Amino acid sequence: MSSVEKKPHLGSTLSFRHLSYQADTKGSKGRLLVDDVSLTVRAGELLAILSTLLDIMAFRKSPLEGASASLNGETLTAKSMQKVSTFVEQEDALLGVLTVRESVSYALRLHLPLLSRRDIAARVNRVLTALGLQSCADQRIGTPISRGVSGGQKRRVTAACAMVTFPRILLLDEVTSGLDSTSAREVMSAIRTLAIAEGMIVIATIHQPSLETLAQFTDILLLAEGRTCFCGKVDELEGFMERWGHPVGKFTTPSDHAMNFLNADFAESTGSDATVNVRAFREFYLSTLPAETVAVAVAAPPPSIPETEHGQAGLLGTLVWNTLVLSERTAVNYSRNLLAYGVRIGMYAGMGLMLATIWIRLGTDDSTINDRLSVHFFSVAFLAFVLLEERAVYYRETKNGLYSTLPFVLSNTLVNMPFLFICTVLFTLISYWAIGLHPGGAAFFRFLAFLYLAILAAESQMLIIASLIPIFVAALAIGAFVNGFWMSVGGYFIKARSLPRFWFFSFHYMDYQRYAFELLANSDLRGLSFRCVTSLNGACVCAYPSSTPELCTVSGGDVLRYLEIGDISYGKWAAILIGITLIFRIGLYFALKARSK
């Protein structure tokens, strides 16, 4: 879409009427942060806001009754606003192992599945050039252990990921924070150029802009005590202040000079009467307005908000496309992210080595039976970790409508499964034969399969915790508590029949560790015979009741019957583990969806 004829939104008009917002405090209603604000922005215009009004415009906070928003005369809702707008937040939520070009390309591919690779490359290069990112286009964003682009460049990458989709409405939350004055000016200049060329409406919060940066905006809105104190062209603000009798000084920007009268944060320490200043400022502004407020009229509004490219591709096609693109990006992240995933592989290898050297060559004496059971319990209870590195990126991208929750969960599952399988194989190869578990290929592959199902369930559970609790240490603590809870009711530390009835008939049957432990124990012990090494008065004394005391042996079946887990079905128990994993994955979907709201 390079020509004006293909862009009917070039004449778009965005209007907000009677926006009010009240911050509630505990037990009472707080003060009005926004009080009856109305404004209009047209395509190609850049509106600077020196307030927290942006969240209300983006429908991220609910205004009081009576507020309305419209695009070309058509009422906007939270859902329709998400379709036509992109919100650039203050935090730079990016995957550190991706390059600048890859980060922007993935954002575009997720938004426009019908674009060819040539068109994707052309649009990405255009945005990177406009934002001054060509010099670092093939440099990685950076991780805690690998230095990447600078903070200012990272800020521009976040803006590029939003702008490359060319949304009709671009909402910027302090996009110039962390940038020097020259970079801030160039970034805003690039945004203005693209806004005019693509017919975008740009609304940005910005604090203490330089004169050159402020000049890139067409309009400015100043609020004090939640009320509009100035709304007009940037180049009119200086004249406004002069007419009021407070001309702008030689080394002061018009916006900073105006805020000196509107900022009440330090009024008490300076001894000034901020309320009087604000009232006088607002009264003079109102006196400059026409006697009658004329509503913005759009002579020939364009058609209804058009279907996005996603809608044209079809819901099923979009789901498949987004799942594939997200899977590709997640796979790249897994393969490059040494800190997050290389360390995890090392931990699985370390756990396997630890078991192999501590429980080494257990043999078939009956004194080693409990040691075998401990190996199985350890394997299912201590191989899960809390990690959802893509969470912040997911929140940013889903709020901007790049994709929904389902493709994110599906892609995470598709990439997570082979990664966990590699970890399971590594752990099993290191520990299984060194410990001396049930010999034979069939028993080895059963152990591998059952342990893999257990780790899948544990990982799925931990992902739910990580999605609900954004603080890593807190998520780790809750994860440890939940893991300990399942260990307590699983039937290893205390026999299942000895559990209080409530725990036995409820959580014991929900415990994935219980089913995994019983599968591993049966796979290992069935078919084995253990020599009883203790004697009393010349008679054999076995560690478990034996069906063949005359042979001075106890079979694995005897042990399983004593533990009351000998009659399980491999297929049924494995199906239950798969079912629990599916339930956890569905829970992850709803947890992410709830948090993203």
Contact assessment for residue 305 and residue 84, using Cβ atoms and an 8 Å cutoff: yes
Q: What is the CA radius of gyration of the chain?
A: 32
- Helix H or strand E encompassing 224: strand 219-224
Contact assessment for residue 52 and residue 133, using Cβ atoms and an 8 Å cutoff: no
d(CA 356, CA 436): 9
Of 115-119, 452-456, 521-525, which gets the smallest average pLDDT? 115-119
Q: Which positions ≥6 away from 474 have C-beta within 8 Å?
A: none
Using pLDDT thresholds of 50, 70 and 90, give the confidence band for residue 382.
confident
Question: At 546, is the secondary structure helix, strand, or coil?
Answer: coil
Q: What DSSP state is assigned to residue 295? A: P
How many other β-carbons are positioned within 10 Å of the β-carbon of residue 495? Answer: 13
Give percent of the chain above pLDDT 90. 49
Q: What is the pLDDT of residue 535?
A: 82
For residues 35-62, average pLDDT: 87
Q: What is the pLDDT of residue 304?
A: 44
Helical axes 512-525 vs 441-468, angle rounded to 10°: 170
d(CA 372, CA 375): 5
pTM, two decimal places: 0.85
Per-residue pLDDT tens over the stretch 198-237: 889 999 998 878 888 888 999 999 988 888 999 999 999 9
Q: What is the pLDDT of residue 569?
A: 95
H helices of 177-308, in order, are 181-198, 211-214, 234-244, 254-262, 267-270, 274-288
Q: What letter represents residue 201's amino acid?
A: I
- Helix H or strand E encompassing 204: strand 201-205
Using pLDDT thresholds of 50, 70 and 90, give the confidence band for residue 145.
confident
Q: What is the pLDDT of residue 30?
A: 65
Using pLDDT thresholds of 50, 70 and 90, give the confidence band for residue 559.
very high
Angle at 202 between CA 407 and CA 3, to 5 degrees: 80
Q: Which positions ≥6 away from 504 have C-beta within 8 Å?
A: 489, 496, 497
Asked if pLDDT for residue 359 goes beyond 90, the answer is: yes
Q: Which positions ≥6 away from 146 have C-beta within 8 Å?
A: 96, 97, 140, 338
d(CA 530, CA 552): 9
Q: What is the pLDDT of residue 264?
A: 64
d(CA 574, CA 427): 20
CA distances from 204 to 69, 127, 209, 219 (A): 17, 18, 12, 10
Using pLDDT thresholds of 50, 70 and 90, give the confidence band for residue 9.
low
Q: What is the pLDDT of residue 105?
A: 96
Using pLDDT thresholds of 50, 70 and 90, give the confidence band for residue 10.
low
Q: What is the pLDDT of residue 144?
A: 76
Q: What is the pLDDT of residue 338?
A: 76
Beta bridge partners of 32: 22
Per-residue pLDDT tens over the stretch 250-305: 878 888 888 888 876 654 444 456 677 888 898 999 998 875 443 333 333 443 44
Neighbour-count burial of 43, counting CB atoms closer than 10 A to its CB (0-12 exposed, 13-18 middle, 19+ buried): buried
Asked if pLDDT for residue 59 goes beyond 70, the answer is: yes
Q: Which positions ≥6 away from 512 have C-beta within 8 Å?
A: 454, 457, 458, 461, 486, 577, 580, 581
Per-residue pLDDT tens over the stretch 409-460: 999 999 999 999 999 999 999 999 999 999 989 999 999 999 999 999 999 9
Q: What is the pLDDT of residue 269?
A: 45
Using pLDDT thresholds of 50, 70 and 90, give the confidence band for residue 308.
very low
For residues 489-513, average pLDDT: 90
**What is the bridge-based pairing of β-strands 227-233 and 529-531?**
unpaired
Q: What letter represents residue 544's amino acid?
A: Y
H helices of 233-273, in order, are 234-244, 254-262, 267-270
How many other β-carbons are positioned within 10 Å of the β-carbon of residue 242? Answer: 12
Nearest to 12 by CA among 35, 45, 54, 59: 45
Answer positive or negative: Cα dihedral of 96, 417, 453, 502: positive
Asked if pLDDT for residue 3 goes beyond 80, the answer is: no
What tokens does 325 get? 């693109």
Number of residues in the chain: 597
Angle at 176 between CA 173 and CA 178, to 5 degrees: 110
d(CA 456, CA 12): 50
Per-residue pLDDT tens over the stretch 476-489: 889 889 999 999 99
d(CA 222, CA 8): 31
Q: What is the pLDDT of residue 313?
A: 53
Asked if pLDDT for residue 2 goes beyond 50, the answer is: no
d(CA 31, CA 21): 9
d(CA 573, CA 449): 12
How many other β-carbons are positioned within 10 Å of the β-carbon of residue 433? Answer: 13
379 HSE (CA, 13 A, CB side):
37
For residues 555-573, average pLDDT: 94
Q: What letter represents residue 394's amino acid?
A: Y
d(CA 61, CA 55): 6
CA 58 to chain centre: 19
Token pair 């009677």 is found at 18
Q: What integer best gives the mean pLDDT of the chain? A: 86
Contact assessment for residue 573 and residue 518, using Cβ atoms and an 8 Å cutoff: yes
d(CA 486, CA 515): 11
- Helix H or strand E encompassing 310: helix 309-313
Q: What is the pLDDT of residue 278?
A: 85
- For the ranges 43-52, 237-246, 306-315, 334-343, the maximum mean pLDDT occurs at 237-246
For residues 54-71, average pLDDT: 89
List, edge to edge, every strand of the sheet that includes 74-75.
28-42, 13-25, 68-71, 74-75
33 HSE (CA, 13 A, CB side):
18
Q: What is the pLDDT of residue 594?
A: 87
d(CA 42, CA 15): 9
For residues 68-86, average pLDDT: 90
Of 28-37, 186-195, 333-342, 587-596, which gets the smallest average pLDDT? 28-37
DSSP string, 523-589: HHHTT-EEE--EEETTEEE-SS--SBGGGTEEEHHHHHHHTT-TT--HHHHHHHHHHHHHHHHHHHH
Q: What is the pLDDT of residue 28?
A: 47
d(CA 121, CA 115): 10
DSSP string, 70-134: EETTEEP-HHHHHHHEEEE-SS----TTSBHHHHHHHHHHHH-TT--HHHHHHHHHHHHHHTT-G
For residues 401-411, average pLDDT: 93
For residues 393-404, average pLDDT: 89
